Chain A
Amino acid sequence: AQSVTQLGSHVSVSEGALVLLRCNYSSSVPPYLFWYVQYPNQGLQLLLKYTSAATLVKGINGFEAEFKKSETSFHLTKPSAHMSDAAEYFCAVSDNTDKLIFGTGTRLQVFP
């Protein structure tokens, strides 16, 4: 069965600093991988997805993620954090079913 592990429930960065949110997955088949963002009191918004077309995936708001099969990782990065990036971020995996399995989430705080 597939699973997702997000290392670090909280990450704090200064505005303008690099953002790195970690996600490792486990799947018995080539996975589809997703990053979602949840702003306070809102639903989830899809940031980006990996579907095997390219290992480096670019998403909205300047975020990108790199699929590394050898490391079973799909870490999310952004070169320069903005105050508006403060939110909860969820990594999710899906295999050949219609279901998504979510990680436990990482809360990103951005300090001025």
Chain B
Amino acid sequence: SAVISQKPSRDICQRGTSLTIQCQVDSQVTMMFWYRQQPGQSLTLIATANQGSEATYESGFVIDKFPISRPNLTFSTLTVSNMSPEDSSIYLCGLGGGPGSYNEQFFGPGTRLTVL
């Protein structure tokens, strides 16, 4: 399976600032997703990162708050903008398994964000 890396692995940020999280894969993948995992909670899908076009956001998430880039099939970024303490979470990128994968996903190690 693909090797997924995320940068940074963790960060502590001040309220009102922005942080960009990178997801790098060692092979080309069609489907990439960004999730948020709030403390003690499950994973919530933020958006599907589409290569070469705007991301598709889930209900409750907007591009101004979580801009996403997907310049190619191996890389994506998620920016958490104008952060508040409520944004403290683990952010994970997920990869779709592709055709024949039955929609299974594989996940990066996550970025642990704390907002003060």
- The main secondary structure of chain B at its interface with chain A is strand
* A49 contacts chain B at the CB level, 8 A cutoff: yes
Total contacts A to B, CB within 8 angstroms?
50
Residue count of chain A within 8 Å CB distance of chain B: 21
Query: Which residues from A are CB-within-8-Å of B82?
Result: none
Interface residues of A in 22-49 (CB under 8 A from B): 32, 34, 36, 41-46, 49
Which of A11-19, A60-68, A77-85, A101-109 makes up part of the contact surface? A101-109
- A residues sitting closer than 8 Å to B (CB atoms) are 32, 34, 36, 41-46, 49, 51, 90, 94, 97-100, 102-105
- B residues sitting closer than 8 Å to A (CB atoms) are 4, 31, 33, 41-45, 48, 92, 94, 96, 102-110, 112
